[in-house]
Amino acid sequence: MQPNDLERIAQQIRRRDLQAVFEAGAGHIGGEMSAIDILTALYFRVLRLWPDQPKNPDRDRFVLSKGHTACALYVTLAKRGFLPEDEIATFLKPHSRLNGHPNCNKVPGVETNTGPLGHGLPVAVGMAKAAKLQGASWRTYVMTGDGEMQEGSNWEAIMAAAQFGLGNLTLIVDHNRFQQGAALSDTNDLAPIRPKLEAFGWDVSEINGNAMSEVVPALERRGARPHCIVAHTNKGHGISFMQDRVDWHHKVPNAEQYKIAMAELAEDLR
């Protein structure tokens, strides 16, 4: 798919994600909106996978380490054919398999359970190392939040990936500059992220993570070293009153806000 096609799909995913969070009365919509362009590019262009064979051993692996944005992953998986699209209406409801954090034992297409921050990248390093030991061609991708990069376990994994020469591993940092309750700059400011990863021996790209023309080539980049994409994104991207507002990390729109947001997200679909 070309960037224009991917942008249209991303907008459709944003609208369905917004609807699901509104109807469920819970979710992490700000960080979902910032990550959806990357998820769309991964699942509709970059990842080698088969929705009817979610455990095919030759598939590429994707780990959503920022597991609190699970709804965006569920909508993307459903759009790609891993789930019935009408199942999204069960998000967070009793007995639904679409919980607040992804569960690999219940949801096809989910590679590992995530939720506790700082776990996804270490797991992804193990996956990439396993592929290298097996001589397999599949690749591993993992997305973390920028606030999540404050976890020490991530930096241990970063050191290990460089030591093992995991050129089959891509880390995407959703650098939307906000975490729960505060801006990154007001907590434990990691910016600039790029030189820190480069100091550990990683290949690093720095992009606008909400511009498909930059997202796609960065995700398709290949090399001998592990690759980190520092994706500069906007919290609540595409919705004017949510964008770059820390309170929309874990907040649900009321009926009037929902109407405004759906209208704004519809503009690019005309």
Hey, how many other C-beta atoms are within 10 angstroms of the C-beta on 15?
A: 18
Q: What is the pLDDT of residue 206?
A: 98
Residue 259 has a pLDDT of: 97
Give the pLDDT band of residue 268 (cuts 50, 70, 90): low
Whether 106 has a pLDDT exceeding 80, the answer reads yes
Q: Domains in the chain, please, with CATH?
A: 3-269 (3.40.50.970)
Q: pLDDT-derived band of residue 110, with 50, 70 and 90 as boundaries?
A: very high
Whether the pLDDT of residue 101 is over 60: the answer is yes
List, in sequence order, every beta strand (DSSP E) within 123-232: 140-145, 169-175, 178-179, 182-183, 203-208, 227-232
Quote the pTM value: 0.97
On the CB side of 209, CA atoms within 13 Å amount to 32
Mean pLDDT of the residues in the chain: 96
Measured in degrees and rounded to the nearest 5, phi and psi for residue 212 equal -60, -30
pLDDT at residue 89 greater than cutoff 60: yes
